[in-house]
């Protein structure tokens, strides 16, 4: 999580909503990415999706059953879906996202036994720092930074749609 938080901080410095993700296999970080939606103009450029793509490329295997996806903010429906598609063994996240979270808050894609793959989920790891990064980011935007999306002026940490 320390490394995912570092990715989140780097994303914030680049003007992105601060969300970071790493993929770990056998205790080794095989991929690390931050949210890149603003820089790329790509609505799917969430940290988790980017990190899963990198991990699959690095490992030469689209199936990541032995991998743990570590992310600073609860995955949105798209990213929980990406973790499902990659058959990720475990998901560890920091701050819960009551507006878009799909691994426990609104949905639990990772634990839905109707799907043909489920992942173990651990919530709340490094949650305070992850949430503090989001709070600081959106506070700075309100102070005149402009630019990044905080739809409807959502309170920090509860942003949605702005998930990473």
Instruction: Pick one of 79, 96, 148, 156: the residue that binds Zn ion (CB under 5 A).
Output: 79
CB 97 within 8 A of CB 105: yes
Cα–Cα distance measured from residue 73 to residue 96, given in angstroms and rounded to the nearest whole number: 6
Which listed residue (7, 16, 36, 48) is catalytic? 48
Determine if 22 is a binding residue for Zn ion (CB under 5 A). Answer: no
Cα–Cα distance measured from residue 17 to residue 37, given in angstroms and rounded to the nearest whole number: 8
What lies within 8 Å, CB to CB, of 152 at 6+ separation is none
CB 72 within 8 A of CB 60: no
Cα–Cα distance measured from residue 153 to residue 107, given in angstroms and rounded to the nearest whole number: 24
Residue 91: phi and psi, rounded to 5, are -125, 130
- The contact mask relative to Zn ion for 94-133 (x = CB under 5 A, - = no) is ----------------------------------------
**What tokens does 152 get?**
């409807």
Question: Could you confirm whether 3 is annotated as catalytic?
Answer: no
Instruction: Pick one of 9, 32, 33, 46: the residue that binds Zn ion (CB under 5 A).
Output: 46
**Segment interacting with Zn ion, rule: CB under 5 A, options 22-30, 75-83, 122-130, 142-150:** 75-83
By beta-carbon proximity to Zn ion, the closer residue of 78 and 106 is 78
**Segment interacting with Zn ion, rule: CB under 5 A, options 33-41, 42-50, 109-117, 125-133:** 42-50
Residue numbers at the binding site for Zn ion (CB under 5 A) = 46, 76, 78-79, 163
Give the residue numbers marked as catalytic. Answer: 48
């Amino acid at each position: 999580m320390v490394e995912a938080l570092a990715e989140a901080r780097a994303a914030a410095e680049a003007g992105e909503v601060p969300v970071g993700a790493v993929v770990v296999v056998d205790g080794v970080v095989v991929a690390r990415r931050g949210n890149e939606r603003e820089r790329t103009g790509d609505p799917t450029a969430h940290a988790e999706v980017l990190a899963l793509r990198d991990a699959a490329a690095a490992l030469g295997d689209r199936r990541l059953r032995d991998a743990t996806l570590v992310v600073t903010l609860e995955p949105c429906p798209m990213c929980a879906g990406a973790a499902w598609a990659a058959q990720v063994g475990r998901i560890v996240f920091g701050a819960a996202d009551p507006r878009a979270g799909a691994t426990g808050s609104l949905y639990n894609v990772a634990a839905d036994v109707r799907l043909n793959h489920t992942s173990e989920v651990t919530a709340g790891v490094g949650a305070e720092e992850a949430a503090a990064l989001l709070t600081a980011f959106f506070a700075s935007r309100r102070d005149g930074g402009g630019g990044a999306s905080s739809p409807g002026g959502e309170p920090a940490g509860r942003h949605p749609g702005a998930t990473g």
